[in-house]
Structure 1
Amino acid sequence: MPHVLGSAIGTSFQTWLRRHVRNRGEVPKFPETESEIAAHKQAVRSIIEKAAGPTPEYDPLIPEIHQVHQRDGYRIEAVSFPTFGGLRMTATAYVPEADEPVPGILAVHGHSAHGRRDAKNQQRCIALAKSGYFVLAVDAIGNGERSIELPGYYHGGNEAAAMLLTGYSVFGIQLHENYRACDYLISRPEVDASRLGISGASGGGNQSFYSGAWDDRFSAVIPVCSTGAYRKMIGTHNCMCETPFGVAGSLEQYDIMAAIAPRALLVISARVDNFSFRFEDAESTMKKAARVWELLGCPEKVAFESLPVEHGYPPAARELALGWFNRWLKGAPDSDPTAEPAVLIEDYATISCYPSADSSQVLTLPELFVKKREEVMPKNPEPRMEQVRELFGTPSVKELDMEPITRLPGPVAGSIGTSYLFHTDDGIIIPSITYWPDYSHTADSALLMVGSSKDDLMKSPLVRQGLLAGKSVWLVDLPGLGESRLPGEISEHIERILNIRGHISAFRACHLLGLSLGGLWIGAAQSLLARLSETAKQVSLAAFAGPATVFLAGAGLLEGFERVMVFNPLASYRLGERFFNLHYESFIPGILKIGDIPEVAALAAPNPLTVTAPLGHDGTPLSVSEAADVFRPVIKRYEALGRRQAFHLVGEAEANSLLLTELIS
């Protein structure tokens, strides 16, 4: 199918999103005088707290040392300790031989297959221990020995998205667990609690600067290959652990960095890195952040270095970090790069808490999801419409200008096509391929179709059925989909590697800004309805792929459609503890706090609603009897309103014949 404008539309959506950076909600004034610094720092902390969730009630700090190995000048301990909510952090302590307390370093990792046990993580930890630092290397939630599958598994896929359903996030869990890890670090008699540092690369670098801004106990902070600018991260692919809700709507990264002052901050970037961590952006970010250290009279305590290396924590970065720690945690006269000592990498079993285990021995992300799902869900959910509006960010209807672009041949004899652009005053562009049943270019009824792309929609028999029934058929790419796909959206190759599907970069960009991607889609659908209704007396909506679940859950907000039809939506978030083969946008943040999909979808009554071949947690269609059981709340509400005939629950086998009948009628 021909594009209307091609990649330009995805770029325009990216531009629209980036205009929201540090431009939504309460945006703190960046300090211009020393007297303004405290208020700015408090504002930054409040925004981080809102994104992470309130500080949890920590479990009693009762650690367990699983094994100990003596080495030349230091010893290794495999240790675990509780954090909160039944979670237990697996860790390795590298303890130097010393006669008095030494500085402590919290070593956080990025997206390596084996978490803290990864050879590159071991390298820097052992080198620091041999240089006189007590190092606590921890496994982040869903990584290393805390993975769903051992020896390691990506934690930012559907498991991270599922946590959002409950109002919790991997970002928040990491922030609060790192705080608890610091508690454990200072509980050790070998550690001088007044001399603490934190460092990591990539996702570990993000953890470092967020924890550094959050926890004043860290005297020295070194994020590596993780800094850039939110305005450039928006629209690119990163992990959900690096995506705190709403932070980029109120802050830029220089705000986060500035909140670390007057403590010592060294930011290290690679000159060969992905677009999220461009060294040019990091340099600009740090140039602005450094003004706060200047106002405080300690400009020597902040530095930025870019290295001619690739993404990671390479030797040159480790030497810079060691010099920085030596100056600010040991009192060395300068922070010159310091050569690290030679190290011996350990076998995984030597540093494991559970070396003989073939599965995780601590609470995993899916198990935590099940636990939180039960905690947050109302016992007898009766969601209200205002709660659903809030869930989707109060979708707004915008006036759409419509511009015809070109004529196209129709898929049915006698039909004709036209490509259109819909656009709003604030820069949203929605491309459409429209087919008319005849050359009059008019029809009393219209069928609006949305899905992953116009190309996919064209494969649906609904296109032909609609035209034969005398309807105009509008194939539309909503923001972030099809032609509107962000330039930095993940590829199918990466989807296969990470076992995820959908439009993750669009979902993540909206989440980072405090927007709802689903809310944008609902608002766009209502805006399109308003425009199509100028010439069509009746407009039906058919949603496929990721939008199907969004429009099912948000069906109560879709007013004025002749009928809303959703195909292969996720039926429920309660049918399993893990999710497979589902679009990322099917996970609606916070929904379980008001109810499951059927309870929320029931608010569509009494308006006509058809649900076709809904999916279970594994991405396969439910049987008719299973679906009827899951959608009992919807059926009951339609019955209570005397409109049972307006709700159709259709099995996979019956879909085509029933839909044809509906369209003709």
Structure 2
Amino acid sequence: MVGCRLSTGSIMQHCFIVFMIMLFSMHTQAQNSIPRLFESANIPDPVALPLTTKAAEKACRHWNRPLLEREDVIHVIRENTNFKIQENKNVRYEIVNSLERLGFTIQTILFESREGVWVPASLYVPKGEGPFPAVVNSHGHWKDGRRTDIAQQTAQLLASNGYVCLNMDAWGVGERGSEHTHEYHGSNLGASLMNVGETLLGLQLSDNRRGVDLLCTLPYVDADHIGATGASGGGNQTMWLAATDDRIKAVVPVVSVGTFRSYVMNSNCVCELMPDGLTHLEESDVLAAVAPRALKILTAIQDGNAAFAPLQMLKTYKQISGRFTEKQLAYELFNSGHDYNTDMQRSMLNWFDTHLKTNTTKKQDLTVAPLVSVEDLSVFKGDKAFPSIVTTKDYIRVAGQNLHKQLESVQHIDRKEKQTQLFSMLYPGQRDIVLRRYTYNASKGWQPLLLETRQAQFIPLFYRLPKNQTKGFKLIISSKGKQQIDAVKLSELEQHGYGIIVFDLYAVGERSSQTGDHIDGQLPRFHTVSRASLWFGEPMMGIWSNEIAMVIKEVQQLFPDQPITLLADKEAALATLYYTALSDRSYSVELNEVPISYVWDEGKNADAFNMAVHVPGIVSWGDLPMLLALSNSEFHLSNVVSITGEKISNEEWGTYLSWLKILKHKLNTNGKISRN
């Protein structure tokens, strides 16, 4: 049992303190005349604090109950990652190239993970008589994937000491990148897999399990003695593989074990994200599922990633210790940074020798052979193409094509059923509502209104009354925050007699997370906040669309007879689409820089939109055309683009508009859609 000091109302209590610290200062910006409601300097992060508090409360609940049984853990993982178990254990593979080394052979191979999906891999085979024990060696986020120095060093050490070692390129990494060259497989690329009902974690796990299938079919492998290791993201892969596949008999995850609680608002990849994971379990449940098999955790004292700090690892270790015998569980600390160094590799080798070998009398060979060049380990040679290696973008394009064919084949689509499905995707838990409203004196012609919500959010809203009562209000929802709204645009609206309403969405503008923005670094914005929210099953599009609903409800209560026109751009435009798709009211909606689909086009920019856009299952549900078609609102779209930010041509728009008309006919909805 773990002592937890957090109470059920901790989030509200902590965030009310944040609100009280925020001074009502009415700062103005150079961009426009809209005031700021909060003094943002030297206050707790209004996004990070609620998220980390929520993570702590969920973790405490998990730590203070019995560990989940293994079958329950596997069920949760399958439900939330969609990993596949192939019934046919025979694996198609081909040897592309072989390199002879002293004591072992390196085979460059391709094997089929699922129908039509081939994985580039390196198979290190000891010379001599087998069968040999084997190890799945998963690489982390180092350049060149399976061919990186660390992966090669580990594999050569294992092969030199009598182990068959399988190094494979993880999904989207190395030769599985968009151009069959190395790229970062996380961020928007990896997150986009959720939009088609997959996860990067689940696809990697499926590949790794298929790698075990391959090893078990090789005549020179002892299928009863297979281990798994990997560092960083590779250690994470190792954990999920060992938890779900009992053919793995010994496990060594390296610089990768912490707590899921510590993943929230820290620097982790999308490949380490299990959507809605913290709702169901903690990392201790997953690692406990390895028992009674042998597990040794290697942790770096100077690891720069707080999620893998020794303290976090020890929390999990303490939780799982009761599931293992003394000889089957261990950890070791190393005075190093985030690495898989020589000392760590030797510790791994000792563990595998103890638990995977029946004869350990032979002296270990610790010689480090010269590494092989990346080119010599490549499947791709020069301009030779292998279209069978499916990239992330390829995979999602196929999903989009399958959706289109499916929707074409049906005569009628039930609108209410589609809305119900969408609602459950966006709002898996209790929807937020406004609890209290705070009004303040007007400043520079703007009337402020602060909304406090049940989930301890504080939404700053400003409005100006219409000069012409027949014009109503323009509600402007900016993807960059109200302070960034074009001053000229505001002036034009006022001159035409419109009232104006502005507010900041969650984690935007005055409500930005300095912690999240700092951790994001060069990655697209909301990489940190979006992943954190998804650990609770909450996509940011759900949070944002619900905040739009709350604001509109407040405005309608204040001004029941005034029409409201919605104006939004980019990611905020997407959130507006989600809102209008679920609303039974009709609006005039003006959207700028809105994408027409989540499906990847041929454009190169994977980060044209930030990480707030992703909604698990949205493409499989119907994609953005279904959102537009569901609504009875009138849409005016400007600067329409693809998901990579490419301009949509007149011909492409004509085809798209025809498809929208077909969908609206199947849904029996009204409302015009035009492009400026």
Structure-1-length-normalised TM-score:
0.85
Local SS of the residue matching 1:89 = strand
Is it true that 1:431 corresponds to 2:457 in the alignment?
A: no
Cα 1:30–1:217 shift into 2, 3 Å: farther
Given that 1:107 and 1:199 are in contact with CA atoms closer than 8 Å, whether structure 2 keeps it comes out as yes
Given that 1:203 and 1:226 are in contact with CA atoms closer than 8 Å, whether structure 2 keeps it comes out as yes
Cα 1:318–1:638 shift into 2, 3 Å: closer
Given that 1:106 and 1:199 are in contact with CA atoms closer than 8 Å, whether structure 2 keeps it comes out as yes
Cα 1:325–1:83 shift into 2, 3 Å: same
Query: In 2, distance between residues paired with 1:81 and 1:255?
Result: 31
Local SS of the residue matching 1:11 = coil
Instruction: For 1:578-597, list aligned pairs within 5 A.
Output: 580=605, 581-597=608-624
Match of 2:183 in 1: 153
Instruction: For 1:371-450, list aligned pairs within 5 A.
Output: 371-377=398-404, 378-380=406-408, 382=413, 384-393=418-427, 396=431, 398-404=433-439, 408-409=443-444, 416-417=445-446, 419-432=448-461, 434-436=462-464, 445-450=472-477
Partner amino acid, structure 2, of 1:389: F
Match of 2:367 in 1: 341
How many residue pairs were aligned? 624
Instruction: For 1:463-542, list aligned pairs within 5 A.
Output: 463-490=490-517, 494-495=521-522, 501-537=524-560, 538=562, 539-542=564-567
Query: In 1, distance between residues paired with 2:672 and 2:233?
Result: 46
Match of 1:615 in 2: 641
Instruction: For 1:36-47, list aligned pairs within 5 A.
Output: 40-47=69-76
Q: CA deviation at 1:207?
A: 0.4
Cα 1:308–1:575 shift into 2, 3 Å: closer
Match of 2:592 in 1: 567
Q: Percent identity among equivalent residues?
A: 23
Is it true that 1:67 corresponds to 2:97 in the alignment?
A: yes
Range with greater deviation from structure 2 (369-378 or 39-48): 369-378
Local SS of the residue matching 1:448 = strand
Query: In 1, distance between residues paired with 2:559 and 2:542?
Result: 25
Match of 1:277 in 2: 308
Query: In 2, distance between residues paired with 1:23 and 1:341?
Result: 48
Partner amino acid, structure 1, of 2:547: A
Q: CA deviation at 1:376?
A: 4.3
Cα 1:81–1:640 shift into 2, 3 Å: closer
Match of 1:556 in 2: 581
Is it true that 1:113 corresponds to 2:143 in the alignment?
A: yes
Is it true that 1:212 corresponds to 2:242 in the alignment?
A: yes
Q: CA deviation at 1:134?
A: 1.3
Aligned equivalent of 1:354, options 380, 395, 401: 380
Query: In 2, distance between residues paired with 1:72 and 1:279?
Result: 38
Match of 2:259 in 1: 229
Partner amino acid, structure 2, of 1:353: V
Given that 2:73 and 2:285 are in contact with CA atoms closer than 8 Å, whether structure 1 keeps it comes out as yes
Local SS of the residue matching 2:251 = strand
Q: CA deviation at 1:332?
A: 8.4
Query: In 1, distance between residues paired with 2:667 and 2:113?
Result: 48
Partner amino acid, structure 1, of 2:320: A
Aligned equivalent of 2:338, options 311, 336, 339: 311
Partner amino acid, structure 2, of 1:158: N
Query: In 1, distance between residues paired with 2:459 and 2:317?
Result: 37
Match of 2:279 in 1: 249
Range with greater deviation from structure 2 (376-385 or 251-260): 376-385
Q: CA deviation at 1:330?
A: 2.5
Could you tell me which runs of 5 or more consecutive residues in structure 2 were left unpaired when the two chains were aligned.
Answer: 1-28, 30-35
Q: CA deviation at 1:10?
A: 7.8
Is it true that 1:598 corresponds to 2:625 in the alignment?
A: yes
Local SS of the residue matching 1:513 = coil
Given that 2:603 and 2:645 are in contact with CA atoms closer than 8 Å, whether structure 1 keeps it comes out as no
Instruction: For 1:636-647, list aligned pairs within 5 A.
Output: 647=672
Q: CA deviation at 1:345?
A: 0.7
Q: CA deviation at 1:139?
A: 0.8
Given that 2:94 and 2:111 are in contact with CA atoms closer than 8 Å, whether structure 1 keeps it comes out as yes
Is it true that 1:141 corresponds to 2:171 in the alignment?
A: yes
Match of 2:25 in 1: none
Given that 2:629 and 2:660 are in contact with CA atoms closer than 8 Å, whether structure 1 keeps it comes out as yes
Query: In 1, distance between residues paired with 2:492 and 2:673?
Result: 18
Cα 1:417–1:192 shift into 2, 3 Å: same
Cα 1:445–1:400 shift into 2, 3 Å: farther
Q: CA deviation at 1:72?
A: 1.4
Cα 1:149–1:636 shift into 2, 3 Å: closer
Given that 1:18 and 1:231 are in contact with CA atoms closer than 8 Å, whether structure 2 keeps it comes out as yes
Deviations 1:569-618 (A, max 9, x none): 1112457256632233334321222323122221111x343333221243
Instruction: For 1:443-458, list aligned pairs within 5 A.
Output: 445-454=472-481, 457-458=484-485
Q: CA deviation at 1:128?
A: 1.5
Match of 1:290 in 2: 321
Partner amino acid, structure 1, of 2:437: M
Cα 1:289–1:565 shift into 2, 3 Å: farther
Local SS of the residue matching 2:367 = coil
Aligned equivalent of 1:131, options 135, 152, 161: 161
Cα 1:461–1:372 shift into 2, 3 Å: same
Range with greater deviation from structure 2 (253-262 or 534-543): 534-543
Local SS of the residue matching 2:474 = strand
Match of 1:4 in 2: 38
Q: CA deviation at 1:110?
A: 1.2
Could you tell me which runs of 5 or more consecutive residues in structure 1 were left unpaired when the two chains were aligned.
Answer: 410-415, 652-665
Query: In 2, distance between residues paired with 1:111 and 1:456?
Result: 37
Range with greater deviation from structure 2 (258-267 or 172-181): 258-267
Aligned equivalent of 1:179, options 209, 230, 233: 209
Cα 1:127–1:527 shift into 2, 3 Å: same
Query: In 2, distance between residues paired with 1:84 and 1:133?
Result: 26
Is it true that 1:631 corresponds to 2:631 in the alignment?
A: no
Q: CA deviation at 1:437?
A: 5.1
Local SS of the residue matching 2:646 = coil
Query: In 2, distance between residues paired with 1:319 and 1:164?
Result: 38
Partner amino acid, structure 2, of 1:355: K
Q: CA deviation at 1:374?
A: 2.5
Partner amino acid, structure 2, of 1:576: D
Cα 1:158–1:577 shift into 2, 3 Å: farther
Given that 1:452 and 1:546 are in contact with CA atoms closer than 8 Å, whether structure 2 keeps it comes out as yes
Query: In 2, distance between residues paired with 1:642 and 1:594?
Result: 18
Q: CA deviation at 1:470?
A: 4.5
CA RMSD of aligned residues (A): 3.4
Deviations 1:530-556 (A, max 9, x none): 222232233333222212123224422
Match of 2:22 in 1: none
Q: CA deviation at 1:436?
A: 2.6
Query: In 2, distance between residues paired with 1:261 and 1:406?
Result: 63
Q: CA deviation at 1:107?
A: 0.5
Given that 1:58 and 1:83 are in contact with CA atoms closer than 8 Å, whether structure 2 keeps it comes out as no
Query: In 2, distance between residues paired with 1:323 and 1:454?
Result: 55
Partner amino acid, structure 2, of 1:218: I
Given that 1:235 and 1:487 are in contact with CA atoms closer than 8 Å, whether structure 2 keeps it comes out as no
Range with greater deviation from structure 2 (300-309 or 205-214): 300-309
Local SS of the residue matching 2:507 = coil
Deviations 1:47-97 (A, max 9, x none): 101122152556751221122222212121112211103111111111122
Given that 2:595 and 2:641 are in contact with CA atoms closer than 8 Å, whether structure 1 keeps it comes out as yes
Given that 2:403 and 2:622 are in contact with CA atoms closer than 8 Å, whether structure 1 keeps it comes out as no
